Structure formats: structure tokens, C-alpha cells
Amino acid sequence: MKLIIDTEAATLTVEESGNRQTHGLYTKEAFELLSLQWLRVGWSLRQYMTFTWQGLPVLQLPEDLLRLQEAVHRIRPTLIVETGVCRGGSLLFSATLCKAADRGRVVGIDRHIPAQVRSAIESHALSPLIRLIEGDSVSTAVVAEVAGLVEEDDTVLVILDSDHAQEHVLAELERYSRFVTPGSYVVAADGIMRDLADVPGGSAEWAFDNPFAAATEFLERNPEFERAPPPWPHRESELTENVSYWPGGWLRRRP
């Protein structure tokens, strides 16, 4: 695909497979086309590695974090389960939301939690709201430990952001979706991988081996869930789509 921006004519032209289509540069269609390319370029330059939350790297796109807080504000979960601890910033972000709402706690799961990351989280003022579990997120022992932390009246939100291979994400979806309460979500993060297969740093197999594909397969077998990103609580714009690393990843449990 070729994109041609003409700032003098205020147009964006798309050329693909012999077809040519021109949009106004300042239109919804142009914004969505340019946003995808911005995401691709930004990912290849590791833009997501330039943000921190409460002092720890968060490794997320800021728009995804803002959309997440909108969902948390509306759902008011009492338990947020996250697979993938990495540098710890995302756990602190979720704990901050719980602290602000004066309700909720966070469980973070990872195969290996480096000592410096564990120390930074456990010494943080928000640490009383965070429980760390080291182990394979899809192992029987880890899932059982999480199950033991879920209380009968909990409202549960799950974020899957560990190993992004389709098989692993699907296994996580099958194991953790049972904790998600009606009206809440399980999020399969980083479906953007399907659009990064041909960018520097990407891999060709990502075109088919990615969290978006896992979410699609999961939905085919679990009709109690639907692909439904949280609604925007405020919108004075004609735009309707998130600029996101998590496309198609918000799976809502039907009420």
C-alpha cells in the first residue's frame, strides 16, 4: 500500500493493488489510515519504551491507558488480574486507579519477576494493593492460586499481556475468562502485532500468530463473550475508533 499526502491540496491518496482512492486530509478516514502508520513507525522506534508510571516503565500506549481508566471508572472492579509484570509500571497504574476509587486490588503474574522489579513494587506506597505471583500464567498451580484470591462478591477485570503467541493467549483466555464478571472485560493486549509483521523489529509469523487471532478463536467457542471495546464516556468528535495497541482485544462478558 502506498499513501500519498498532499498538504497543499489537503488530500490523502491510497494506492493498493492497482486501485486508487483519495480522501480529504482532515477526515476521519485519513486520520485512521495515518494513525495505523503512526502506530507502526512508533512501535518500530520503541516509543512505548519512553513512558513511566510512578517511576517505573509502563510499556503501554498512553491512549490505551486512558481508555483502560475509563473502563475501570465505569466498572469499578474490586480485582484486576494482569498477566505480564515486565517492569512493573502497568501494575502501579492499575493500583493507582484502585486507590483513587477507594476500592480494588491488583494481582500481577509473570514467569520471572526480576529482583529489582519486585523490590521497586514492594517498596512503593501502593504495594499494599498489589499481589505478585511468579510462575507460568497458564499453569494449574498459578490459576489455582488466582482462584483462591477471587472473593464471591468481586467484580473482576483481566488484562492478558504476557507471552503474545496465539496458543499462549488462547490458553490464558480459556483459563482466566471464568473469573471475569458479567459486564466486565478480559483484555487480550497487543493485537497490533498483526500489523507489525513487516516493520523493522517485527516477525513475519506475527501476521497470523498474535493475540487478535487468539481472541477471535476464543470468541468462536465462547458466545458468552463479545468483542466490544468500552464506550467513550465523552466524545465531541466524529472519530469512533481507538488509536491502540489493543485492537480487537476488549472482550466483554455479556451481562
Please give the Cα distance from 197 to 203 (Å, whole number): 5
**pTM (2 d.p.):** 0.97
Whether residues 11 and 91 share a domain: the answer is: no
- Average pLDDT of 134-143? 98
Closest CA to 73 of 153, 186, 155, 190: 155
Whether residues 88 and 63 share a domain: the answer is: yes
Instruction: Give tens-digit pLDDT for 34-43.
Output: 999 999 999 9
What's 100's domain CATH number? 3.40.50.150
- Average pLDDT of 168-191? 98
Range of the domain at 173: 49-253
Label residue 124 by pLDDT band (50, 70, 90): very high
Please give the Cα distance from 233 to 211 (Å, whole number): 26
pLDDT in the model for residue 16 = 92
138-144's contacts with Cβ under 8 Å and 24+ in sequence apart are: 138/168, 138/171, 138/172, 138/175, 142/109, 143/175, 143/176
Amino acid residing at 135: G
Q: Which residues contact 138 (CB under 8 A, 6 or more apart)?
A: 168, 171, 172, 175
Does residue 174 contact residue 218 with C-beta atoms inside 8 Å? Answer: yes
Domain count, the chain: 2
Residue located via cell numbers 467457542: 221
Whether residues 223 and 147 share a domain: the answer is: yes
- Average pLDDT of 143-161? 98
Whether residues 36 and 135 share a domain: the answer is: no
Label residue 76 by pLDDT band (50, 70, 90): very high
DSSP-derived secondary structure for 109-134 = EES---HHHHHHHHTSTTGGGEEEEE
Handedness of CA 86, 89, 95, 97 (dihedral sign): negative
Whether residues 10 and 57 share a domain: the answer is: no
Integer CA distances (angstroms), 173 to 55, 102, 136, 138, 221, in order: 30, 28, 14, 9, 11
Strand order of the sheet with strand 11-16? 2-6, 11-16, 19-24
pLDDT in the model for residue 115 = 98
pLDDT in the model for residue 217 = 98
Whether residues 11 and 79 share a domain: the answer is: no
- Average pLDDT of 55-61? 97
